[in-house]
Amino acid sequence: MLFDHEKGRMTCDQLIADLMTKKNRENTYPFMECNYRNIVLVGRTRTGKSTISCMIKNPFHISERPSIFSNTREITFNRIMTKHQENAHFFTIVDTPGLFDCVREADKRISNGKVQELLNECITKDITHIHAFAFVFSSSSGMNQEDIQSMIFFQTNYPEFKKFSMLIVSHCEEKNAEERNNVIEELFQHPAVVKCNLREYFGLGVFFTGSLRSELRNCPNLKAATNQITNILTMREQLIDFLVSREETYNIHRKHDTDLVPKVVPRRSSINTIFMIIMALIFAFLAIIFALLDKC
């Protein structure tokens, strides 16, 4: 037991150190400081938004067999934690229903307006500090009109997201760096994308993701799986490194640069002056009319 020899008694710091040495193993719920990161996944339906959430949690996750129908019917919150270089990071990954919903029963289809309503409620009430809005584009299905319309939908309805938006290209597990860059160049050279200047909307840049393919469930192939997981781990690390480095957040209840447009509010004195000028012009006009009538 350590003592303060000058005073002949134990100090408070020494007391705590002694207690921790003897009893810390009984502290079954140790807590630590944690950095939080909130990410919202948006985009067209069936682009792999839910798979991205699973892949971030577990890079060895095997994706589900592709379906022509969407599975996400409501906003879900996936909360996970990682420890990296002695720092704890708590992630909330918000998975939203996709635009241009495709379901078996037409009466259960979620309209784009409903998706917007759910997203608005989420960023207003549920997660108010958002580090990134990630628009997901699938490289496997190629560019189609719904992808472009989905991008324009967010650009039009949420222009304030620009500096908080990133583009994530999914299904890149078998593409090397050159092939991934080719996908992006083809996307941003599309006439409709160029016309709407959509590239500028993704202020946080472009990232890539992938997951182990569902075919591995029935046909295990070590060579193919090794190639896929090598690409997955590289892309995943680049994405998470960036998200961890993010400090600025979007908060709908806080003014951002894009919202700070000065409004010109006329002073009461200015309104009175304008009123007097208008009245003077009316009286002058009436005086001219009466003068002309007298001459007649």
Q: Does this model's pTM top 0.85? A: no
Per-residue pLDDT of the chain (296 residues; tens, 9 = 90+): 455 555 568 889 989 999 999 999 999 998 888 999 999 999 888 788 999 999 999 999 999 876 655 666 688 999 999 988 889 999 999 999 888 766 555 556 788 888 889 899 998 888 889 999 999 999 987 778 888 999 999 999 999 999 999 999 999 999 999 999 999 999 999 999 999 999 999 999 999 999 999 999 999 999 999 999 999 999 999 999 999 999 999 998 876 554 433 333 344 445 566 767 787 777 777 777 767 666 66
- First and final CA of the chain: distance in angstroms? 119
Tens digit of each residue's pLDDT (9 = 90 or more) over 152-174: 999 999 999 999 999 999 999 99
Task: CATH number for 35-251: choose from 3.30.565.10, 3.30.2290.10, 3.40.50.300, 3.30.830.10.
Answer: 3.40.50.300
Q: Give the C-alpha separation, 190 to 193, whole Å.
A: 5
User: Phi then psi for 240, rounded to 5 degrees?
Assistant: -65, -40
Tens digit of each residue's pLDDT (9 = 90 or more) over 5-49: 555 688 899 899 999 999 999 999 988 889 999 999 998 887 889
Over its C-alpha atoms, the chain yields an Rg (Å, rounded) of 30
Q: Give the C-alpha separation, 62 to 193, whole Å.
A: 32
Domain residues of the chain, as ranges?
Answer: 35-251
